[in-house]
A and B are shown apart, each in its own frame.
Chain A
Amino acid sequence: MGNRVAICAVAQTTYERDKWQHRFQGMALEVLESLLKQTGLGFSEKNGIGMSISVSDDIFDARTISDNAMTDVLGAHLRCEEKVAQEGAQAVYYGLAAIMSGHTDLVLIIGHCKESQAKSRNMVTHLAFDPFYTRPVGMDFCVAAGLQAQAYAEKSGILDEHLADVVVRARCNAANNPFTPEIKPVSKEEVLKSPMLADPIRQLHAYPVSDGAVGMVLASEERAREITKNPVWIKGVGNCMDRFFLGDRDLASNFALKKAAQRAYDRAGIKNPRSAFDVIEISDQYAYQNPMWIEGLGICDEGKGAKWLESGGPDKFKVNPSGGMLAGNPLILGGLVRSAEAALQLTGQAGERQVKDAKTALAHGVMGPAGQFHSVIILERD
C-alpha cells in the first residue's frame, strides 16, 4: 500500500442491555471527548480533523439520516461528514481511502447504536428483507442465522455441546473486559438448557441486545507519528458482498468471507493466515459463527470447525479474548468494535485480556442475513 494509515486512538462506552438514561448523542459525545483528550486534536481547518465518519443505523435510531441532527457530537459541526450505514468496519475502509487518496490526513470515526430503543431487534432486521418474496414469510436475521447454523452444523459436525463451549468461553473472556460489565459467566449446562430460538440456535447462542458507542482516530503516517507513540497500522482491508437471496447461496460455504479474507490477506501480504496473527477478533453474532467464520478466514480447514474447537483452537489462536460479539455490542458496530479491540491489544492497553506482545491482529465485521457481507481488517504495530 502507498501511504500508510494508522489507528491513533480508540474509545468506547460500555455495552449494556439498556442505557435508557443516555441518548445516543450522549454516548457518541463520551467517545468523542475521550478521543480528543487522547490525541490532543481539534477541528481547526488548518491542521485539525478533516473528516468525520458516523456509523449508525436509521431504523435503530428511529429517524432517517440520523447523523444530521447530531453533527456536534460527531465532530462534524460545520465540517466534512460521511455516514456508514452498512457495518462499522466499512468506516475504517472509508477513512483509509480518504487518507490514502490524500484528501485528508485525519479522520474521526464514531459509531453508535441503541438496540434497546426498538421494541425488538428482530423487527429491525426483518425490514432488511424484500417486501415480495422474503419479508412476507417472516424472515429476519435470527431466522436466517438458524438456516445457516443448521446447514453449517450438518457440514462441520458441530453439536449443541460445541456451541455451549463457545458461549461459556466467550462469557468467561468477557469477565476480563471492562466494556461488557453485564455479561456474567454461564455454565455449560445453562447453555444446553437455554430455550431454542431458531433451531439449532439457543437463546444463549445469540449475541445480547446492547447499547453503546465506539470510535477511533485514523491518521496518515506523518500525522500519526505526531499524535501517538503507538500507531496501529492498517495493513489491508478486504470485503465481499454475497447474493441477497439465501437460496442463491450455499449457506455453509463461507463464500463471501473467504473472498473478503483473501482480498485483505493479499493487500497485507499475508501468505499463511494460520501463523500470521497474534490475536483475532471476529464478529460472532451467534455461537455457530465462531467456528464457521474461523473456517472462512482459513484459520482451520473447511468443515473442520468442530475439530478445531475440540483441539483448543480458540485459545491457541487467541480468538476473541474480549468475549467477541457474543459478549455484546450492537449489530452495526461489530467490525468497528472488533477493530478497536484489536488496536487495544496491539498497543498493550487490553488490561486483563491482553495477549502478550501482540503485534499483528485480524478484525472482522459481518452484516446482512446469514453473513451476506463480510469485512476483514489486518492491523499491525511497529
Chain B
Amino acid sequence: MQSVKDDCFIVEGKLALPYQYFAGRTGSRFLISLRDKKIMGLKCDKCNRVFVPPRTLCEQCFSNISENWVELKNKGIVTGFTIVRYEEPYQTAKPPYILALIKISGSDTPIAHIVKGIPLSKMRTGLKVKAVFAKKSTSTIMDIDHFRSDEKPKFELGFTYDELEVGMSASFTKTISETDVYLFAGISGDFNPMHLNEEFAKATPFGTRIAHGALPQSLIAPVLGMKLPGLGTVALEITCRFKAPTYFGDTITATGEVSEKIEKKRWVRMALTWTNQKGEIVAEGSALVMPPAPMPQEM
C-alpha cells in the first residue's frame, strides 16, 4: 500500500554568503586600539558611564560621546557566567568552556568573552581576570583571545560544603614513639607516671607505660584541618570515647568520614575512628566542623 511518506524527496541545501561589514567609525577606532593591545571605552561625562563595546551616543542621555575615549586596563571582573557544554561549529573554544560577562576595569558595561585558567567547578562571579591578546589580529573582539583568571591563590583551600558528600573519608597514620609521649607530657604538663615511669606503670592494669589518650586523639587534627574538609576548616566540636590503650610503638590511624550534611548551618558532621596496627579500635567519636567557604577574592 502506498503511504503518504513514499516517494518523498529531501533536498540538501546551505546558506553561505561571504560578507563584508563596516565596523563604523567608532567601532573601527575601538578595533584598531585592540589590535595595539589597548582596550578603549567611550565615556559619557553627563551620565558618568563608560561604554564597552563603544558607541557614538550615550544610550541613556543620547549625548554624542564619540570623542571622549578613555583607555581602560586590560583587566576586569566577572559579573556573570555560564559553562557552554554543547558543540557548535561557530565556537572558538572547545566545550566545555566558560563564557562570562566581564566588566573591564574602568568601564560600566560588561562584555561577553571566554574565560580560561580556572577549573569549571571553581568558576564564580567576582573572579578577577586579565585579557590575553591573540597572537594574530583578526580585527574583531577576538584580538582578545580570552580572559584568564588573574587570581593566584596563596593557599589551596579544602572542600567546601557543596563539594562534600556523605561517605567521603580521609585518614592520617603515625607511629607513636616514646619521644612523642615525653614531648606531649611537656606540652600538656601531664607528667602522670603511668605515661613516664615504667616501674609505676607495671602496677597499673596496662602493665606498661601507655600514651596520653589525647595524643592519638590529636591525630584527627591533620585529617580535619588538612585533608577532609581540609585547609580553612573550623572544628566546632570533637567528641571521643577511648576504647583501648595506645602503647609505645603502636601505629595509630585516625579516620574521619562525612556522616551528615547540615544544610541549615552548612556544617558537616564527621564520624571519627582511631585504630591501631592490629585493626583494633582505639577510640571512636564524632566531630562537627565548618568547612571552608569558597576562596575570598583577595586571596
Contact = CB atoms under 8 A, between A and B. Distances in A.
Given A21-B8, A134-B112, A248-B109, A154 B88 contact: no
Interface residues on A, range: 35 or more
Contacts of A126: 88, 90
B80 A147 contact: yes
B59 interface: yes
Given A198-B84, A251-B80, A136 B92 contact: yes
Contact of B53 (A21, A150, A245): A245
A59 interface: yes
Nearest to B54: A133
Contact of A132 (B53, B80, B99, B110): B53
Contact of B82 (A120, A123, A149, A245): A149
A149 to B, nearest CB: 7
B110 A136 contact: no
A243 interface: yes
B112 A62 contact: no
A154 B138 CA distance: 36
B114 interface: yes
A227 to B, nearest CB: 33
Interface string B195-218: 000000000000000000000000
A137 B88 contact: no
B88 to A, nearest CB: 5
A21 B81 CA distance: 40
Interface in B49-91: 51-53, 59, 79-86, 88-91
B103 interface: yes
A80 interface: no
Contacts of B109: 245, 247-248
Contact of B140 (A59, A136, A243): A136
16 contacts: A21-B4, A59-B15, A122-B86, A131-B140, A133-B141, A138-B114, A150-B82, A151-B80, A197-B86, A198-B85, A198-B86, A246-B101, A246-B110, A247-B109, A247-B111, A251-B80
Interface of B: 4-5, 8, 10, 13, 15, 19, 21, 23, 27, 31, 51-53, 59, 79-86, 88-93, 99, 101, 103, 109-114, 125, 138, 140-142
Interface of A: 20-21, 59, 62, 120, 122-123, 126, 131-140, 142-143, 146-147, 149-151, 154, 195-201, 243, 245-248, 251
